[in-house]
Amino acid sequence: MKNLITFLLIVILFAGCKKDENPTGPGFTVSYAGKTYNTVKIGEQMWLKENLDVGTIIHGNKDQANNGVIEKYCFMNNPAYCDTFGGLYQWNEAMQYSTTPGIRGICPPGWHIPTDTEFKALASAIDNNSNALKATGQGIGSGTGTNISGFSAFLAGDRYDNDIFLNFGYNAFFWSSSEFDTATTKFLNLYFYDSLIYLSNNNKYFGYSVRCIKD
């Protein structure tokens, strides 16, 4: 029953998802690994408007490995999910096995995994209002997305553990490149039910979304 409810939620959100126009004017595009990404300027920062979707799909019951091949998870092991919502990556894979804050990792050339400081600057630029980051149609009540920033965040969920996928339609998780300690890393979290932006830390083992920022 839980899997059926999750499947129906995915179908509903797929139907309601659309690319939001950049309200601050047209941005340039970035071609990378066979996909084209739109861009948006928020404050003094330039961001990709879509979650990164690069790499070879592996099943959720496997860890991503340092094998010279970029690997990704797709929610519920469904490739169509990655087409719309991007891949999910363990932190080490996203960073390409570096621990240097601000490194390119799996981002396109000239872009990098945002640092915790850059996430804080993003939050400040939109008055710490997560609804300004969420795509229209994402969230409910006081957490309804307005996307006035153009960031177009989907509540894409995560790969929690050994083939367990959670939080689709409830949370957006974005890795930073800033470690908290050897086991955990800082990340940005958006919830479906409120307008707060959460900057916290969690286990590198989880599979989260990656949103790249320009160098």
Q: Give residue-wise pLDDT tens across range 21-40.
A: 444 445 799 999 999 999 99
Domain ranges of the chain: 2-214
Q: What is the DSSP string of 68-91?
A: SS-EEB-GGG-HHHHHHH--BB-H
Q: Give residue-wise pLDDT tens across range 155-182.
A: 999 999 999 999 999 999 999 999 999 9
Q: Give residue-wise pLDDT tens across range 72-110.
A: 999 999 999 999 999 999 999 999 999 999 999 999 999
Which residues are within 8 A (CB) of 108 and not within 5 positions of it... i.e. 6 or more apart?
A: 30, 32, 33, 37, 212
What tokens appear for 175 in the block? 């890795």
For the chain, state the CA radius of gyration.
16
Contacts of range 80-83, beta carbons closer than 8 Å, 24 or more positions apart = 80/14, 81/10, 82/53, 82/57, 83/53
Contact 55, 135 (CB under 8 A): no
**Residue indicated by tokens 């091949």:** 69
Model pTM?
0.89
